[in-house]
Amino acid sequence: MPKGRSRSPPGLQRVDAGPGDTNWLTGRTYSKRFFEILKSRRKLPCWQKRQEAVDMVQKHQSSVLIGETGSGKTTQVPQFLLAEFGSGKIAVTQPRRVAAMSVASRVAQEMDVELGQEVGYLIRFEDMTSESTRLKYMTDGMLLRECQTDPLMSQYSVIILDEAHERTLSTDILFGLLKEVLQRRPELRCLVMSATLEAEKFQEYWSGAPLLRIPGRMFPVETFFTLRPEKDYLAAAVETCCLINVHEGPGDILCFLCGEEEIEKACAEIEGRAEETGKNTLVLPLYSSLPMNQQRRVFPPAPEGARKIIVATNIAETSLTIDGVVFVVDPGLFKQMLYNPRTHVESLLVSPISKASAMQRAGRAGRTRPGKCFRLYTLETFEKELPESTYPEIIRSNLSAVVISLKKLGVDDIVHFDFMEPPSPEAMMRALEMLHFLGAIDDEGDLTDVGSRMADFPVDPHLSRTIIAASERACLTEVLAIIAMLSVPPPFSRPRYAQKAADRAHKHFASGYGDHLSLLNAFQAYVSSGSKTQFCQENFLSERNMKQAENVRKQLASIARKAKLEDASGEMLTHSIRRAFIEGFFMQCAHLDESGKHYLTVRDQQMVAIHPSSFLQHKPEWVLYHETVVTDRCYMRNATTIPPEMLIEASPKFYHPERCKLHEHARKILRRALPRVKS
């Protein structure tokens, strides 16, 4: 037992230490910084409710805590419970990777411990925990993956599902699993935390669980609407930020936009106009793929006499709290993934936010003083067109990953699984159909050996099926590299000032077969380069994304080794790689129509086009694609040319011209390819 541990005061007194006290977790004397941070912690609304929160969790197996943004619930409540329960670990789930990382870092500072030791985080492809970790912040998907090897979640004494209002797929599945686990583990405690007022829905689902409300630190916020709809929300957002910067008093500005590209564009425009007006302005982007050191720049106060303008995705809505914001600019939009089970198209679309999100955004302006929220839409739009709350992912997503996860967890009767809101029967049937085609489940709906191995990999079922096929075709090393590149943000950079130079550099990686093999070329060149930083600069590659891809490949290779998959490189690599991808993506192929101008998807004859960023410079007869994105039209992103005979060989049931249910023109092409099919 570390020195000083035995003299530590019990329970909640541990979080309210005094000078000279030893840290009850480490046995070391608290640092000066600890007491400086403790002063600000004591001012949080959560601090006043700490005994009520602890009592509620102790007395009830499941409970609900509604804490407004800025109340301190995410950072403080887990510390209170850890101090009170003393033994056992606490898991705190977050919907977003960046929130899990940044909150864990902050809590480690507050507890005066090293990040990765007593306090850590776990996200996909990154584990910052150790054997001494007692408080673990993690994405909800990672807790779900842990359940595969520990269905009773036996290492935890308390599980906190934070930001539950976001209703991600993983959180909704954890709801159902935890209800069963609680029946088998009476000592386990589950706390559901949310920032919005859906308390009744959560309480009803958790069989009348008790509720504790914690107010935020709110000042009045004056809200403004436009008189008419804005045609160009990006231009309107930039203009509004610039007008506030010139005409309003001190205070930082938080502007919500939909994605990395438009955020960077807006930052550049705002920065340029601020320089023209001579305003001392610090313009900062904030989105999930931004390097962590750059994300942290949004938290410190602006230099004296300067104003911060933060342009962010909805990550700044509830997941992160930024002090000093007085003005909020809200175009009323965000990006969400929508899946159409009829067409099998999953699209990332710009959609209107909910009323609940609009209220959350406005609330960001009233944290430290009275603020203003400028909504770039009309009052009528707010009242009549915005939904009350964001639709849960479970009713707008492809469910194949959900089904295979539940099957791996031993949930056979998925139709009657205790979802808070059941998905549509059509979406469920499409998911089962897809997994059956992939060989993950058999005719009875049971998980096959292939399906069980697929579920071991933290990637989409199409990709995990490709991994299994690659191990059988002596191209696993290469396929893991490609999948790693597909799992990170696009690495190819095209800065506005050097687009032609970037295009010339990227051509060195181009493969005539298309994007998958071009990604492999870029990855292999990066790995074998001497100075990786210089290599990325010269070739206009994102070093951060390339490093991330390298890390993902190592993690996938580790899982493959544990699964005893063969990791070797054979001959005819380009053929083997494409054949492996067909095993996973044979339902995501398209062929040219009779005019030779347009592509049609094989399953539903949807008209699609090759994405402008593709390395494919010609129009092959057949292509396999990784995903579709919808903007002004439906594009296939990451496409590779595929000979039709390869499709027949890989999936005769789906592609044999005399047996398949494809369009007549597609069957005509396949008939011509029949003589080339290897028996």
The predicted-structure confidence for 302-346, as pLDDT tens digits, reads as follows 999 999 999 999 988 876 778 899 999 999 999 888 887 777 777
Q: Could you tell me if 97 and 141 are in contact, meaning their C-beta atoms sit under 8 angstroms apart? A: no
C-alpha span between 54 and 69 (Å, rounded): 20
Assess whether pLDDT exceeds 70 at residue 667: yes
Q: Which amino acid appears at position 215 of this protein?
A: P
Phi-psi region of 124 (alpha: psi -120 to 50; beta: other; left: phi over 0): beta
DSSP-based three-state secondary structure for 270: helix
pLDDT at site 348: 77
C-alpha span between 534 and 540 (Å, rounded): 10
**Among candidate residues 651, 670, 662, the one with its CA nearest the CA of residue 602:** 662
pLDDT at site 179: 94
Q: Which amino acid appears at position 344 of this protein?
A: H
Which residue matches tokens 């990686």? 509
C-alpha span between 266 and 255 (Å, rounded): 10
The predicted-structure confidence for 251-297, as pLDDT tens digits, reads as follows 999 999 998 889 999 999 999 999 998 889 999 999 887 777 788 89
Assess whether pLDDT exceeds 80 at residue 444: yes
Q: Could you tell me if 491 and 541 are in contact, meaning their C-beta atoms sit under 8 angstroms apart? A: yes
pLDDT at site 114: 97
pLDDT band at 6 (very low <50, low <70, confident <90, very high): very low
pLDDT at site 222: 96
CB environment 193-212: b (16+ within 10 A), e (fewer)? bbbbebbebbbebbeebebb
Comparison of pLDDT for 661 and 633, the residue scoring more? 633
Across 476-485, average pLDDT: 97
Distant-in-sequence, close-in-space partners of 211: CB < 8 Å, separation ≥ 6: 63, 64, 65, 66, 199, 203
pLDDT at site 570: 65
pLDDT band at 5 (very low <50, low <70, confident <90, very high): very low
Across 626-630, average pLDDT: 86
Across 189-193, average pLDDT: 96
pLDDT band at 198 (very low <50, low <70, confident <90, very high): confident
C-alpha span between 346 and 339 (Å, rounded): 4
Q: Give one DSSP letter per residue of 122-142, joined into a string.
A: EETTEEE--TT--EEEEEHHH
Please list the residues that pair with 160 across neighbouring strands: 92, 191
Phi, psi for 532 (deg, rounded to 5): -65, -35
pLDDT at site 4: 37
Report angle CA 68, 72, 73 to the nearest 5 degrees.
Answer: 75
pLDDT at site 197: 60
pLDDT at site 208: 84
Angle formed by the axes of helices 461-472 and 543-562, to 10°? 60
Q: Could you tell me if 332 and 377 are in contact, meaning their C-beta atoms sit under 8 angstroms apart? A: yes
C-alpha span between 501 and 495 (Å, rounded): 9
Assess whether pLDDT exceeds 70 at residue 501: yes
**Among candidate residues 517, 493, 516, the one with its CA nearest the CA of residue 503:** 493
pLDDT at site 14: 83
The predicted-structure confidence for 406-443, as pLDDT tens digits, reads as follows 999 999 888 889 999 899 888 999 999 999 999 999 99
Assess whether pLDDT exceeds 60 at residue 1: no
The predicted-structure confidence for 357-376, as pLDDT tens digits, reads as follows 999 899 899 888 999 999 99
The predicted-structure confidence for 395-409, as pLDDT tens digits, reads as follows 988 999 999 999 999
DSSP character for 105?
H
Report angle CA 70, 312, 77 to the nearest 5 degrees.
Answer: 25
Which residue matches tokens 């411990």? 113
